[in-house]
Each structure stands twice: as structure tokens, then as C-alpha cells.
Amino acid sequence: MRLEWLDDILAVSDGGSLARAAEARHVSQSAFTRRLRAIEDALGAPLLDRRRKPVTLLPEVETQLPEMRNLATQLRHLRDSLTQTTGARGLTLACQHAITTTHSPAIVSILTAQGGRAVRVRSDNREECLLRLLSGEADLAVVYAAPEVAPLTLSRAFDRVPLGRERLIPVATSRLAQGPDLPYIGYPGDVFLGQVMARAILPRISPARHLRRRAETALTLAAHEYARRGIGVAWLPAAMVRADLDESRLISLESTLPGLDMDLWMIRLSDRADDSWAHDWSRLVAALARPG
């Protein structure tokens, strides 16, 4: 049983509803619901009574709550103890999928330079990256924000610094772009780029363009490969497709289709910043942060 699973289950009990539990865990309700289903799948047993409104824990799960609270406390103490006694422990970096490919190498290079500590990189959707910070699974997160459609709303418990902007652009093979119809690669509505597509990209496309969704994926790396294979137009971060554009494997369709500027943020949880981590954070801020 993982600590963040216990914290999710306990949040349902403490909040009394999935909406309040999701708020307490700093994720959207859809992402929180998806996470609970993943826990149920991993355990091979249901946790929630979905016949009731609001949805609650099953009675047999509620009887285990005292033991869960005790176990969560023990696991948290064990993690903190190991952190304090292992001064040279590695750092965990959580990145959105596209950022893992495009921007994490520079961060890892800085952290590991001159005998620095080892770095473990986790790739996830934006809300899962933030959840890893809250649960103590990650020391640092790098994520996108689109202020007008998918803002990054954080409490004072977080420190964040801007790393600049990146353009989300439509790309496709030249052959595909010449056709009368325009198949495209979509993103699920409950992930960051799915929200961006639904709120800021698709509404700005002229009705005269015959767009049709040919595939859907939450992974920008998969969307990138689908675009390269001519399956459809994909909206991807410019840094991810720079080499493809330079070598004409893909072309930009931004002259006829909309793009969007996204902010790039580096984040840590303030109250978990210890002295050993503070030096690494300062090095990163000095090397990467841009005014913003």
C-alpha cells in the first residue's frame, strides 16, 4: 500500500465527498476519480459505494480507517527518518510528458554536474506531477500553464519560478497537410493539453476547415510519433518538434491553424525545503529562471 493511496482514501473520509476530497488533494475531481479507480484496480477490490450520492467509502473500507491512519503516519515518519539520515539521497523530478523530453535534460545536467546527487525523473500529467509534490514523492516539478484556459493555481505552500514560454503549434507531414480533410490527434479532456485544445484551440478553427479526430492520447510523445507517421495533425510544444521542422519531417500549420503560448514553471513545496535541497534549488533558479 502506497502512502499517497492511503492519503487519497482518507481524504474521501475526511471530506465527505469526492469534490471536497479532490480539493484537499489539490487536483481536479475528474483526476481524483481516475486516481481512485486506479487504486481499486491495483488492489483488486472496490473502495467506494457509487450508488450513494455523494459517493462514500464502502462500510467495510470505513472499518479499516483507523488502521489506515496509523499506517499512513508510520510510513510518513519512516520516509522522513530516511530522508534525514541519508544526507546524499537523490532528488526526484516530476515533469509533464513533453517536458521530460525537452527540458528535463538541462535540469538533470545541472543537478548532476560536478558529482551532484542522482536524479530520478517521473513523467506524468500536470495534476499528477503536483500531487507527487504534495505526497512527498517528488522534490521538484516542472509543468506548463496557460493563464487564460488552464492556469496554474497554487497556494502559498509552493515556491515557483518561471522558466519562460513555449509555443504549442500544429504540425503534420507535408503530404497530409495538402489533403482536403484534416484528421487530427486529440488529447483527453481531463488532461492539461485536452483542456487547452477544448478551450483555446478548437473553438478558434474556422468552420470551413474539415477537422476530424482520428486518434486520441494523453501522451505528447505518442502524438508526436502519430504526426510523424502521417496519422493526423498534432498540437505539440515547439521544442519537441524543432528537429522535425528543421529537417522537413514535419511542417508547421500555424499559418492556417491556431497555436498557443504556454508558460513553463518550476515548482517545489516550501515547507519541505531542507538545507541540503536548498543549494540545488538555488543553483537551478540561477541557471534556469527567467523574469516573469
Tell me the range of 30-34, 54-58, 229-233 where mean pLDDT is highest: 229-233
Of all residues in the chain, the percent with pLDDT exceeding 70 is 91
- Is the model more confident about 140 or about 155? 140
> What mean pLDDT is reported for the chain?
86
Residue 83 has pLDDT above 70, yes or no: no
Give the mean pLDDT of 96-109: 91
> CA distances (Å), 179 to each of 175, 211, 221, in order?
7, 11, 24
The domain ranges of the chain are 3-84, 87-292
Cell match 474556422: residue? Answer: 206
Cis peptide before 66 (omega within 30 of 0): no
Q: What is the pLDDT of residue 20?
A: 86
Residue 277 has pLDDT above 80, yes or no: no
Of 142, 71, 74, nearest in space to 102 by CA = 142
* Alpha-carbon span 243 to 228, nearest angstrom: 12
Please state which CATH class domain 87-292 belongs to: alpha beta
Confidence of residue 22 (pLDDT cuts 50, 70, 90): confident
- Is the model more confident about 76 or about 58? 58
* Alpha-carbon span 177 to 125, nearest angstrom: 29
Give the mean pLDDT of 3-24: 87
Fold topology of 3-84: Arc Repressor Mutant, subunit A (1.10.10)
Q: What is the pLDDT of residue 82?
A: 62
pLDDT digits (tens, 9 = 90+) for 42-54: 888 899 988 888 8
